[in-house]
Structure 1
Amino acid sequence: MSDHRSESPRPEHASGSPEPADPPGASGAGAPGPAKAQLSKPAQVPAESGIPDPAVPDGRDTVPEPPKVPKYAQQAHPQPPPAPWGYNAKRAPSELTRIRPAEPGVIPVATLWTVLATALLSALLLGDGIGPNLLVVAVPAALAAYFAARAAGRRLRPWTAVWAVGGLSLLAVPALRDAGWPVFLAIVSAVAVGSLALHGSRGWLGIFLGSLGLLTSVAGSLGWGAHGVRDRMADSRGRWGVVFRSTAVAIVLLVVFGALFASADAAFADVLGSLMPDVSLGEGPWRLFLAVIGLVGALAAAYTAAAPVRWDGVAVPPGTARGRLEWALPLIVLNLLFAVFLAIQVTVLLGGYGKVMAETDLSDRYAQYAREGFWQLLWATLLTLVVIALALRWAPRGGARDRTLVRAVLGTLCLLTLVVVASALRRMDLYVEAYGLTRLRISVAAVELWLGVVLVLIMAAGVFGAKLLPRAVAASAAAGVLAFGLVSPDGLIAEQNVHRYRQGHSIDIQYLRGLSADAVPALDTLREPLRSCALQEIQRTLRSSDAPWYATSWGEARARDILGDWDPGVRARDCQGLGPGDGGSERGGDGGDSYDPYDPY
């Protein structure tokens, strides 16, 4: 056995390294020491030989050898240790991370050129006023967004096209109307609708945040544009140099030969002067500011089109469903209150306003009945919409019977509210008959009419489904602003007041003279000296304005054609002395109420 042990090869470790040589005396007959017993390996003797090894102690006293590979290393996918503070280190992504898009790719060349074109047109055209130039500047900005979206792989969807066309259509209002207040509403609405076209939101919160979401892309768009320009310059410096040199030569040639032709022909000089913007050195800072605004706006639109924020990803937890009785009882009581009120309104309509006013001591003030009720009905309509929104949030959602109950109760409420809207509009009609039409009255009447449209849309959603309701409400608001600007509110105000005057009512010339040039066609039909008193301020404003064609609205151009070089002269000298019935400042009707606290304008 000693020869066998001396001739057998030395075993290797699991790692492949050779076993260390035994120390001298280890092969003697004496028992090994403790250290030697721990170093001895039972695997050195084949298990099938059946020959006991005297160097190995009895199995009852042998400690099992630990595995050569640790247990944690034997697992296919070891688990990480638990977090020390009791929560997992891998947390779910936050709400902001989930709705934020990935960074867009390199800005396309077409987008760069259209952004630069927007900045240049903003500096040249927007400094002289607002008119068709705003639509001209918006076209390259829209193209920049289109090129960026196409490069990012986005497709043109139907609602995106609706929002885009709607936004550009709203910018037609500054090109047509001279009045500042509908123009302001149209511009704000165009920006909101354009932002919706870039984001593509669908839900209520997405529609609201998406209309303002263009502002969140300003900071990211600046870095995106700067990196794109730097990369393009680094990749093709020679080509960009050719473009810059060619552009500089073309500008020099245009200036030189344009100046020669303008000095040779006065007609060509007039045409060239009307077409080219008049940019002076003193307007440099203002023009530079407009260029920056155009550049940032177009770049933000392109960045949003390439990587829109998914505002629909903002989760709104649903409200707690209520029981049928708890939910329906307050609404049924409200419906009964509406029904009683409307029954009285029907009685008034059938009996006539004259009889009602005689019975309520309002015969001496014809429009008092209308003035006292319109504003309350307007607020009632607004609060009803709030009640409907809260009721839908807490409505029972148990099954088909619950859906039928919700549709019946809320449908009845919407229908009764529509009658309230009709009653409010009728009261406004009486109000206008007694006091005349003003900017505030036509504005609140338009709002009341739009609220009626919203109620109709809610009723349609209860029948056909509410999937399109948020976008339909937003589209109706944009369409309402567009229609409000196209009908020319100042022109309607002038026409209605002139019509009342011809029927024997008084007219407020002091109010009408503060209208815009859109009112000139109606005011031009007044007899003298009312005509001169009404048009004096408008003609003075038109004469002092030297805005070019691209900053002149169609309403202003039409007023210039009507008035021409007309001078009111001495005919407008005694405007302050006009008495009631001849155009004095009496705002009341024929009843003598000369003050209207609900109309500060």
Structure 2
Amino acid sequence: MPKVPAYLQAQPRPDVWLRGGKQPPPGVLSQLRPSAPPAIGPGTLWSVFATALLSALLLGDGVGPNLLIVALPAALGAFFAARSAGRVLRPWTAVWAVGGLALLTIPALREAGWPVFLSVVSALALSSLALHGSRSWPGVLLGSLGLFPSVAAGARWGWRGVRVRADDSRGRVRSVLRTTAVAAVLLVVFGALFASADAAFAELLGSLTPDASIGDSPWRAFLFALGLLGALAAAHSAAAPVRWDGITVRPGKPRNRVEWALPLIVLNLLFAAFVALQLVVLLGGYDKVLEETGLKPAEYARQGFWQLLWATVLTLVVVALALRWAPRGGPGDRALVRSVLGALCVLTLVVVASALRRMDLYVDAFGLTRLRISVAAVELWLGVVLVLILAAGLFGARLLPRAIAVSAAAGVLVFGLVSPDGLIAEQNVQRYHSDKSIDIDYLKGLSADAVPALNGLPEPLRSCALERFRRDLALSDAPWYASSWGEVRAREILESYGVQNHGTECHGLGRDAEERERWEEDSYDPY
């Protein structure tokens, strides 16, 4: 047999993506996920299906108690999956899970969209932390988003489980389908008979039954798929969580004491000089300061609040960077770090108090708005973070990442429970009763949560403020599961007291001459 020349022999084509002939390392998620999840169990499957079905039936009409109703079977499916994988319920897991469910009560209570959005996002983050059990900074930050990498893996896991169980139990599947079909037929037949026999029962049945028409079938199908994928991702994460704590962040190179401490000591001296003046302001002696600057109290407050807010945020950044490059030689270095950064945090707390005092002055002059109450709440939470950092310096920082996450979730929960729109309306109504101006045009743009407070205004201000709410609620036909308690309460108030029609009399009502002049001279107000 003639020998084939070497240049004619088939040579294996090199893989340009491999270096040195080595196989590529496994992906990051495969390294952080300890093992494959066990086969999906029947309890998890039924919970996932219930979540998808409730999503399709309830979420298409808006948000309200339906979010909590949909979340309960999803949480149950995750519990079944975690138990089948041998995971046990730990205290922090219970904290995250209970906190996530508590946050979903805000859509059931409040009509305002902005606290509802914050609560839903925070609930998703806490639910992800409950499933992954993170405790370090990378774990808490990435674990709050950990559901998204499990969407595709959860779908494949659920499909494999359905195929295996369908092959092994065809008879039982047919029995379940027959039983479900018979129950559905009985409910439809006898429900229709009872509804036609009694008008009150028909009205009750109509209010409780979701309205699923043919026209919105694509939207319902999308919600079904969304609920299915979300529940499968949650169950898959519970059975095989990604250990985000496995990601380690190396500390920076430690600096010597002088190089590290000197800039921070200079910053502390600057803060101390500023705080010395602010203590006078906080104690009520700002008249002399205003006299020297020539500013009015509201102008003084507006001039400095945003700067103090950013100063607080930047201080937290400085503390984080200082800890990264702090000297770590021994007890003396630790004492230096604690004293310098502790002093900086204490001084920054006074800055937080000064910023809140300035906001109080401005709100007293011009009223409360959504932006003003939001930034004041953020400033207050930053103060809580500073207190937690001080506590970590005294007792250890092991719990600091989770403590800050808990404080953020608790802040969002409290923010929703106090009803910010209702608080804004109540504060502005109280200002009006104290012979101060009121901006009816702004208050009309709030949510239905503001109706109880606005109902206390005298006529014609009351009817002018409530006319839009009456019109919007008359056009709304949201079912009970998509209606918040704030909307229900507003509807009851408007039906009980009514609204008068004042026509063009409502235009420009509520602002006195001084207020209109201020808006004309300074139409731009950053908050």
Q: If the TM-score is normalised by the length of the shorter chain, which range does it land in?
A: over 0.9
Deviation of residue 279 (structure 1)?
Answer: 1.4
Deviation of residue 97 (structure 1)?
Answer: 3.7
- The reply on whether 1:169 has 2:119 as its aligned counterpart is no
Deviation of residue 275 (structure 1)?
Answer: 1.0
Q: Which residue of 2 aligns with 1:121?
A: 54
Q: Secondary structure at the match of 1:281?
A: coil
- The reply on whether 1:252 has 2:180 as its aligned counterpart is no
1:436-585 aligned within 5 A: 436-564=367-495, 568-578=499-509, 580-581=511-512
Q: Take 1:301 and 1:94, find their aligned partners in 2: how far apart are those partners?
A: 21
Q: Which residue of 2 aligns with 1:12?
A: none
Q: Which residue of 2 aligns with 1:76?
A: none
Q: Take 2:280 and 2:387, find their aligned partners in 1: how far apart are those partners?
A: 25
- Check conservation: 1:588, 1:596, Cα contact below 8 A: no
- Check conservation: 2:282, 2:354, Cα contact below 8 A: no
Deviation of residue 580 (structure 1)?
Answer: 3.0
Q: Which residue of 2 aligns with 1:342?
A: 275
The 1:124/1:576 distance shift into structure 2, 3 A limit, reads same
Deviation of residue 588 (structure 1)?
Answer: 4.9
Q: How many residues align?
A: 510
Q: Secondary structure at the match of 2:254?
A: coil
The 1:379/1:319 distance shift into structure 2, 3 A limit, reads same
The 1:389/1:351 distance shift into structure 2, 3 A limit, reads same
Q: Which residue of 2 aligns with 1:185?
A: 118
- The reply on whether 1:105 has 2:33 as its aligned counterpart is no
Deviation of residue 355 (structure 1)?
Answer: 2.5
- The reply on whether 1:148 has 2:76 as its aligned counterpart is no
Q: Which residue of 2 aligns with 1:402?
A: 333
- The reply on whether 1:223 has 2:156 as its aligned counterpart is yes
The 1:571/1:194 distance shift into structure 2, 3 A limit, reads same
Q: Secondary structure at the match of 2:195?
A: helix
5+ long unaligned stretches in structure 1? 1-84
Q: Take 2:414 and 2:440, find their aligned partners in 1: how far apart are those partners?
A: 27
Deviates more, 1:347-356 or 1:388-397: 347-356
- Check conservation: 1:506, 1:581, Cα contact below 8 A: yes
Deviation of residue 123 (structure 1)?
Answer: 0.9
Question: Which AA in structure 1 matches 2:78?
Answer: A
- The reply on whether 1:210 has 2:138 as its aligned counterpart is no
- Check conservation: 2:65, 2:105, Cα contact below 8 A: yes
Question: Which AA in structure 2 matches 1:197?
Answer: A
Q: Deviations over 1:109-153 (max 9, x none)?
A: 000000000011111111111101110000000000000000001
- Check conservation: 1:374, 1:428, Cα contact below 8 A: yes
Aligned partner of 1:304 among 221, 237, 249 = 237
TM-score, structure 1 as length reference: 0.82
Question: Which AA in structure 2 matches 1:497?
Answer: N
Aligned partner of 1:200 among 129, 133, 140 = 133
Q: Deviations over 1:330-354 (max 9, x none)?
A: 1111000000001111234457223
- Check conservation: 1:117, 1:140, Cα contact below 8 A: yes
Q: Which residue of 2 aligns with 1:432?
A: 363
- Check conservation: 1:536, 1:572, Cα contact below 8 A: no
- Check conservation: 2:467, 2:499, Cα contact below 8 A: yes
Q: Which residue of 1 aligns with 2:71?
A: 138
Q: Deviations over 1:434-453 (max 9, x none)?
A: 11100000000000000000
Deviation of residue 577 (structure 1)?
Answer: 4.3
Q: Deviations over 1:194-223 (max 9, x none)?
A: 001001111111111000110000011111
- Check conservation: 1:124, 1:287, Cα contact below 8 A: yes
Q: Take 1:541 and 1:218, find their aligned partners in 2: how far apart are those partners?
A: 38
Aligned partner of 1:381 among 306, 312, 317 = 312
Q: Secondary structure at the match of 1:213?
A: coil
Deviation of residue 90 (structure 1)?
Answer: 8.8
Deviation of residue 255 (structure 1)?
Answer: 0.3
The 1:140/1:452 distance shift into structure 2, 3 A limit, reads same
Q: Take 2:338 and 2:185, find their aligned partners in 1: how far apart are those partners?
A: 71
- The reply on whether 1:595 has 2:523 as its aligned counterpart is yes
Q: Which residue of 2 aligns with 1:324?
A: 257
Q: Take 1:348 and 1:356, find their aligned partners in 2: how far apart are those partners?
A: 8
Deviation of residue 281 (structure 1)?
Answer: 1.1
Q: Deviations over 1:337-384 (max 9, x none)?
A: 00000111123445722332122111xx43110001000000000000
- Check conservation: 2:438, 2:510, Cα contact below 8 A: no
Query: Percent identity between the aligned chains?
Result: 69
The 1:571/1:141 distance shift into structure 2, 3 A limit, reads same
Q: Take 1:587 and 1:273, find their aligned partners in 2: how far apart are those partners?
A: 53
Q: Take 2:370 and 2:419, find their aligned partners in 1: how far apart are those partners?
A: 11
- The reply on whether 1:390 has 2:321 as its aligned counterpart is yes
Deviation of residue 329 (structure 1)?
Answer: 0.5
Q: Deviations over 1:218-276 (max 9, x none)?
A: 01111100000000000010011100110011001100111011111111111111111
The 1:138/1:585 distance shift into structure 2, 3 A limit, reads farther
Q: Deviations over 1:379-437 (max 9, x none)?
A: 00000000000000000110111111111111101100001000000000001011110
The 1:248/1:177 distance shift into structure 2, 3 A limit, reads same
Q: Secondary structure at the match of 1:476?
A: helix
- Check conservation: 2:282, 2:357, Cα contact below 8 A: no
Deviation of residue 497 (structure 1)?
Answer: 0.5
Q: Deviations over 1:63-86 (max 9, x none)?
A: xxxxxxxxxxxxxxxxxxxxxx99
Question: Which AA in structure 2 matches 1:385?
Answer: L
Q: Which residue of 1 aligns with 2:290?
A: 357
Question: Which AA in structure 1 matches 2:324?
Answer: R
The 1:423/1:270 distance shift into structure 2, 3 A limit, reads same
Q: Take 2:25 and 2:148, find their aligned partners in 1: how far apart are those partners?
A: 27
Question: Which AA in structure 1 matches 2:343?
Answer: T
5+ long unaligned stretches in structure 2? 1-17
- The reply on whether 1:232 has 2:160 as its aligned counterpart is no
Deviation of residue 317 (structure 1)?
Answer: 1.5
The 1:241/1:413 distance shift into structure 2, 3 A limit, reads same
The 1:544/1:350 distance shift into structure 2, 3 A limit, reads closer
TM-score, structure 2 as length reference: 0.93
Aligned partner of 1:411 among 342, 352, 365 = 342
Q: Take 1:572 and 1:434, find their aligned partners in 2: how far apart are those partners?
A: 30
The 1:108/1:86 distance shift into structure 2, 3 A limit, reads closer
For the aligned residue pairs, the C-alpha RMSD in angstroms reads: 2.0
Q: Look at both structures and tell me which one has the larger radius of gyration over its CA atoms.
A: 1
- Check conservation: 1:510, 1:585, Cα contact below 8 A: no
The 1:576/1:426 distance shift into structure 2, 3 A limit, reads same
Q: Take 2:413 and 2:24, find their aligned partners in 1: how far apart are those partners?
A: 47
Q: Deviations over 1:1-32 (max 9, x none)?
A: xxxxxxxxxxxxxxxxxxxxxxxxxxxxxxxx
Q: Take 2:478 and 2:401, find their aligned partners in 1: how far apart are those partners?
A: 41
Deviates more, 1:559-568 or 1:440-449: 559-568
